[in-house]
Structure 1
Amino acid sequence: MILLFFTNLFPICYAQEIRWEPVAPGIWKGITGSPEDFDLLSAATPEPRMEAIAKLGEAAFPLDSTETLARQSDGKTYLKFPLVREEQLFGFGLNFKTVHQRGRILRLHVDHYGGVDNGRTHAPVPFYVSDRGYGIFVNSARYLDVYAGSGSRLDSKDPALARDRNTDPNWTASPYSDAVEILVPADGVEVYLFAGPTPLKAVQRFNLFNGGGPLPPRWGLGFTQRVHRLYDQAEVLAEVDEFEKRGFPLDFVGLEPGWLSKSYPNTFDWDPGRFPDPEGLVASLKKKGVGLNLWINPYVSPDADFFSELTPYYGSHTVWAGAVPDLTMQEAQRIYWQKFKKDHVDIGVSGYKIDEVDGYDRWLWPDVASFPSGLAAEQLRQTYGLLVQKQSARLYRDKNRRTYGLVRASNGGGVRFPYVLYNDYNNHKDFITALINSGFSGILWTPEARASDSAEEWLRRFQTVVFSPMAMINAWASGTKPWTYPEVASEVKAMALLRMQMMPYWYSSFARYHFEGIPPFRGMNLEPGFVEKPAGDGIRKVDLEANPYDEATKKEIKDQYMAGPSLLVAPFFAGESSREVILPEGNWYDFYDGSYAGNGEIITVTARLDQIPVFVREGGIIPLTGPRLHAPGEGETFDLEIRHYGETASSFYLYDDDGVSFAYEKGDYSWREIRVEKDENGNWNGSISRAEAGKPDHIGKVSWTFMTKP
């Protein structure tokens, strides 16, 4: 259907409705123009979890289809999606400073984050979710220009009012806009629409359509220490021994560029001086219950033993004088990754940290570069993080071993990859905002802990690491250890052991991410019963002398988040003595002592050095195991302490499998129901269902703690 818009009888533009077709319950694909063959989904090749999507149920088309419009002009596609007043948007990838995205102007462009939320970031996922309960994903591997309710159209059905700045106190520099408009530099594009009816369900459908979240090996949820970049084999073993001697948990250790014979660019060979016996190192670490992770970036040194064989598959430009393999080509993949398989994976290396597949422009290949596949340089830039994740993970799948690693870039379609994003930006508060935003976009992000300016800052960073997707100490430059600040070493150790105690809770939360699409770490705006209501008027003040076009904006809640099904985490930052926490509707309880905290209200929490504020929803069940230095290994039985909070009977489904292989994909896993209810005398009782015959059963003794006292 062709629509012609008129204002004062003059045509403004031609537009056509996007053609929608259902592809799964509550999910529609829209096509306009002639989409390109190479896009985010063809790069990532996700396998939708159709049965899981079906369990979410059918849902009505959430928008007026006559208001979802597109047009092609000058080799570009223009998209328009409707908005209503008071509607708020979230997502558009890994933002570090903003949670509310309505009114933003972004260029979604894979890049190292430069301190401004302008779309240039490590994972500029072209997916947004509305608080009205739907999400939209633009499946393009191009740089996208997004006007997220920031352009006021002359032909709008609900136009912005023309106000006189001289006399109208409601004049604004950002007039009302009733549309999200996106510019795609291609003759057509695929778009996907995800219904809710809640924002969380829209996110679940997006995640499940992209394969569901990764299920890490159990060891991946333990602690990792990235050692100094020039450590040798003896120093690595000595550091691992010191962790054990001091009683600090450690599940895998990360080697930085010094393990390579040459780096920047890379040979991918072990340095024979620093690491004379790599296979022996891996074996020695394995005996200690510790895995090994290797830093790489993908750029090939002329001294690499496979450099010449890859020559037909390099791009035109180099990175640090290293060749860039076109990893969209199958033969390039075969030649490139066989080196990693033979020299790393086959000897037992646990995973990779894949660095510098994001930017900056000054060292990554430029947009004028060409590649032998014929794809544009920007298409490779937008998808290179996806390609290295997918292809490296395949090495472990072929071994029937799960991996869990780090990567510097990702994009839409990469939900299922077993990688966590990180960067070198290192602002603690912004790290938490990024953790919140990661849950809107199907990615994982770790706040990590590095060198700090004070013992208090080190402890506060460490506390947030405990409640994040990867518990990482990143000491590649500073050599920082958990005990580097002796005045807080005991508090750091207690938090580290708490992370390990919570392993059953974390593992079950990631299983829900995989099987149900629920992000294990997510912003409060996805939580039922949450209302943004900061104290006071909640409005940021302005200084018109400094900026005459500045204006008051609503304050965002970007310093508290949900962890797993039941926990609300509200970090302290260095120097803070108290903070406010907004509790959603329903009763909430203190995680540490079970005391009542509040219901749908703002509470003030006083800082304690030994705790990060954590609250548990009514009826919350938290399965714990004992303090331990390593995650449970394959076949290992572990005891449970099951905590219940509040005054409501409830249940929790505990996930179990072998913890290391892909046998769960063939049904070799178990969900065991934990139930807590009162008996006829009003006493709390707990029960846990038996594992099905032949299914995994690693639970030993079970004890119960009812945290909330009458």
Structure 2
Amino acid sequence: MNKIFKYPIYLLLLLLTTDLAAQDIKWEAVAPGVWKGTVGKPEAYNLLIASGATPSVDRLKNMGDAPFPFEKSEITGKLSDGKTYLRFPLDKKEQLYGFGLNFQTVHQRGKILELHVDHYGGKDNGRTHAPTPFYVSSNGYGVFVNSARYLKVFAGSSVKRDGTNVPEAKDRNTDKSWPARPYSDGVEILVPAEGVEFYVFAGPKPLDAVRRYNLLNGGGVLPPRWGLGFTQRVKTLFTSKDVEDEAKAFQDKGFPLDFIGLEPGWQSRSYPCTFEWDTSRYPEPAAFVKDMLGKGIRLNLWTNPYVSPQASIYKDIKPFTADHTVWVGAVPDLTMPEARDIFFGQLKKSQVDIGISGYKFDEVDGYDHYLWPDVTIFPSGKSAEQLRQTYGLLIQRYSAALYHERNQRTYGLVRASNGGGSSLPYVIYNDYYNHEDFITALINSSFAGVLWTPEARVSKTAEEWLRRMQSVVFSPMAMINAWSSGTKPWSYPEVEQQVKDMALLRMQMMPYWYSEFAKYHFQGIPPFRAMNLEEGYQADVKKEVKSTNLEDNPYVEALSKEVKDQYMAGEYLLVAPMFTGKQTRTVILPKGKWFDFYTGKYAGDGEVITVTPGLDKIPVYVKDGGVIPMGPALMHAPKPNEKVNLEIRYYGSKPAKYQLYDDDGETFNYEKGAYSFREINISKTTDGKLKTSISKAENGKPNTINKVTFKAMTN
């Protein structure tokens, strides 16, 4: 009897165990084209909770509905060993983008990553400043895993024994097509928790999925106008007199300047910090800040959040800090209201209330050797891992709230972010300094819901300096970071005029940049984004292997050449940076006619072109029917009620329509409807003349536009 039922009982138990491990996914329609799936018992603390993200439901509705991108039965979730395993289907010709702020690769299929907040260490392995657990498919959908844990991602790198599309086992001895890494038909994500929630975003295009993700997070940030101007970060131990002299030098030389960044020396102690002014270098902080504001210059302060034992707030905040330190400074548990009240209360009293416009929050990312270890205990009960993944979000969220309470926008710098942070008014930077990789990071920022600046610091040659400055002008923050070098825009006399011309171009383009950031906020469209998100862009898909290395990416069916050195800037511009020592470069133009930004001349249509732009310019192209609103080359961004003249530049011959955004440029009154999109229409008559119009300013809405002229750039 026992022998008869021995194996059937074993098999029955095995089947029951397997059924217990497999979990039913609970689905909820969050908004048109957005679904939330829940597996097991998700943790109460996650990325969206930490960021405070509030979905822009009405704007998601405006995008319209779209079907679920695959069969729900194709998504599986299992619990085992206290962890949750998620699996999503993957077609053979799909490419994957995202999984955080990567610096060297755009294509992520075949990667194995651990999504872990950290300094970028020179390799795309998941450890980065914004390891956003969101990916986008070339098939036109997105997936976001809302977990504040270190996630392990197998992005089409593993083969299930009994999968739907198991590849043929090949004989390496005789078959030259034998792959070291066979084709995989799934994206698998390991979450170290007994449950998780995740979101699926429909397209139908990849950009639609990105937009839905950003709008779920409240829409992208809308900076103040001055935040899109020019900024200089001064040397560490500058005094108030040094800062005043720096501002005067910019004025005397005719270089635009909107805000100056003060580095650690503004504080009495740093690493760890006191968050108090050093009165030997800044004897009268309030008077100094007021004087600089009177000159049209705002001040941004460097700090990290680690509290010095010499800080006046140390005794009060100590009970609400971790049991480990950073540079022997106490680590506030920012998930606790008591810690936040003390920490941000000090910033408010000492700095924000006297007119400081924003912050640069340093060292909230890594490395492991100085940040708190994973054995750290925080008084809230949140784990060290969860705080590591969300500390950048917390510091952004609650510092931004200081300004929102004042009805005053801010725009600053931060070292770490994560999923849910799209609407937070900060740009990521780091200490890495590879120009080419900076551009790849700018491209990947569009898949991560963050902003990235390819800042300039110092260069070995005048050519390198100019090339870096040209990239800076076409980025979210036009910044020189001279905390160590003391570099000025004019530090390389051979290219001083070209650098000045680029800085003035940045100011002229402010109406365009501001409108594009408004689209980021209201529509979720990244202002700087990958070519893979551009309509008409089709990189060639070729089955070719360029080397015999068996570890090369085997998914040649899905891969075309990565394009990681050109990107879209706003609705109409394609930017192709130049790097030191290169006189020529190739540019891939999407389908449709494109025109040179500077001259209006025809450049090509859906083809690869080779250009030699010279030293003075980098290649920039405009779509047919492109509209670029330009303002005057001001030394500072326009004041809230200041009206400026606009020159509307028009490229090509295709009928054009553009939404020009306007508000007061500084407050949050736009949240109450105090804004407008003025529609610009341009077409050419049969005799080549322009037919133009711009809608009237709405009564009771801000109007900062004075005289408007139109210019046809293409003959």
Does residue 455 of structure 1 match 2:462? yes
Supply the distance in 2 between the matched residues of 1:522 and 1:540 (Cα, whole angstroms): 28
Matches within 5 A, 1:396-475: 396-475=403-482
658, 663, 669: which one aligns with 1:657 = 663
Moved more, 625-634 or 236-245: 625-634
State the 1:18 CA deviation. Answer: 2.1
Contact 2:23–2:79 under 8 Å retained in 1:
no
1:313 and 1:178 map into 2 onto residues whose CA distance is 47
Paired residues for 1:88-487 under 5 Å:
88-487=95-494
Residues 1:644 and 1:540: Cα distance change in structure 2 (over 3 Å): farther
1:542 corresponds to 2:547: yes
Cα distance in 2 for partners of 1:119, 1:513 equals 26
Q: Paired residue for 2:701?
A: 695
Q: What's 2:529 paired with?
A: 522
2-side partners of 1:13 and 1:95: how far apart?
37
- The answer to whether the 8 Å contact 1:533/1:582 transfers is no
After TM superposition, the score normalised by the length of structure 1 is: 0.96
Trace 1:486-635 onto structure 2 (pairs within 5 A): 486-533=493-540, 541-542=546-547, 544=549, 549-550=551-552, 554-635=560-641
> How far apart are the structure 1 equivalents of 2:317 and 2:524?
39
Determine the C-alpha separation between the residues in 2 that align with 1:43 and 1:295.
Answer: 23
Task: Tell me if structure 1 keeps the 8 A contact 2:653–2:684.
Answer: no
Quickly say closer, same or farther: Cα 1:683–1:549, change in 2 above 3 A.
Answer: closer
Secondary structure of 1:189's partner? strand
State how far apart, in whole Å, the 1-side matches of 2:33 and 2:587 are.
Answer: 34
Q: Report if the CA contact (8 A) 1:172-1:551 is conserved.
A: no
Give 1:37's match in structure 2, choosing from 40, 44, 56.
Answer: 44
* Deviations 1:292-331 (CA, angstroms, capped at 9, x unpaired): 0000000000011011111210101000000000000011
Q: CA deviation at 1:540?
A: 6.8
1:640 match: 646
Aligned in 2, Cα 1:650/1:36: closer, same or farther, shift over 3 Å? same
| CA pair 13-99 structure 1, distance change in 2 beyond 3 A | farther
Give 1:523 deviation, angstroms.
0.1
SS of the aligned residue for 1:308 comes to helix
SS at match of 2:315: coil
1:703 Cα deviation after fit: 1.4
TM superposition score normalised by structure 2: 0.96
**Distance in 2, Cα, partners of 1:165 & 1:581:** 39
Cα deviation 1:500-551 (Å, max 9, x = unaligned):
00000000000000000000000000001101139xx79673364xxx6446
Residue 48, structure 1, aligned to residue 55, structure 2:
yes
Cα RMSD over matched residues?
1.5
Q: Which residue identity is paired with 2:155?
A: A
- Aligned equivalent of 2:83, options 73, 76, 80: 76
Question: Residues of 2 paired with 1:206 and 1:90: CA distance?
Answer: 14
1:451 & 1:488 partners in 2: Cα distance? 14
* Distance apart, 1:702 and its partner CA: 1.2
Q: Which amino acid aligns with 2:34?
A: I
The Cα offsets for residues 136-179 of structure 1, whole Å up to 9 and x where unpaired, read as: 00000000000000011111110122112222222211210000
SS state at 1:446 partner? coil
Give structure 2 stretches of 5+ with no counterpart: 1-10
Deviations 1:648-684 (A, max 9, x none): 1111110000000000000001111111123465421
Inter-CA distance 513–592: structure 2 relative to 1 (3 Å threshold): same
Separation (CA, whole Å) in 2 of partners of 1:440 and 1:540: 27
3-state SS of 1:439 partner: helix
Report what 1:3 is aligned to: none
Unmatched tracts of structure 1, length 5 or more: 1-6
1:683 aligns with 2:666: no
Q: Once the two structures are superposed, what CA deviation does each residue of 1:575-614 show, in whole Å capped at 9, x if it has no partner?
A: 0111110000000000000000111100001131110110
Is 2:25–2:37's contact at 8 Å kept on the other side of the alignment? yes
Q: Distance in 2 between matches of 1:164 and 1:96?
A: 37
Conserved in 2, the CA contact under 8 Å of 1:654 and 1:671?
Answer: yes
Q: What SS class does the counterpart of residue 427 from structure 2 fall into?
A: strand
- Contact 1:317-1:324 at 8 Å conserved across structures: yes
Whether the 8 Å CA contact 2:228–2:478 is kept in 1: the answer is yes
Q: Distance in 2 between matches of 1:478 and 1:142?
A: 38
Identity fraction in percent: 62
Q: Which residue of 1 aligns with 2:6?
A: none
2:677 matches 1:671: yes
Matched AA of 1:542: S
Query: Counterparts of 1:303 and 1:190 in 2: how far apart (Å)?
Result: 43
- Show CA shifts across 1:85-129 (max 9, x none): 110010011000010011100000000000000000000000001
Cα distance in 2 for partners of 1:70, 1:28 equals 15
Checking the alignment, whether the CA contact within 8 Å between 1:17 and 1:65 is kept in structure 2 is no
- 8 Å contact from structure 2 (residues 56, 215) kept in 1: yes
Inter-CA distance 551–520: structure 2 relative to 1 (3 Å threshold): closer
Paired amino acid for 1:637 = K
Q: Which amino acid aligns with 1:541?
A: K
What SS class does the counterpart of residue 440 from structure 1 fall into?
helix
SS across alignment from 1:258: helix
- Aligned residue for 2:108, secondary structure, equals coil
Is the alpha carbon distance of 1:167 and 1:551 closer, same or farther for their aligned partners in structure 2, counting shifts above 3 Å?
farther
Distance in structure 2 (CA, Å) of the matches to 1:373 and 1:540: 53
Residues 540 and 555 in structure 1, CA contact (< 8 A), matched pair in contact too = no
Count of residue correspondences: 697
Q: SS state of the match for residue 706, structure 2?
A: strand
Letter in 1 for 2:294: K
User: Conserved in 1, the CA contact under 8 Å of 2:653 and 2:683?
Assistant: no
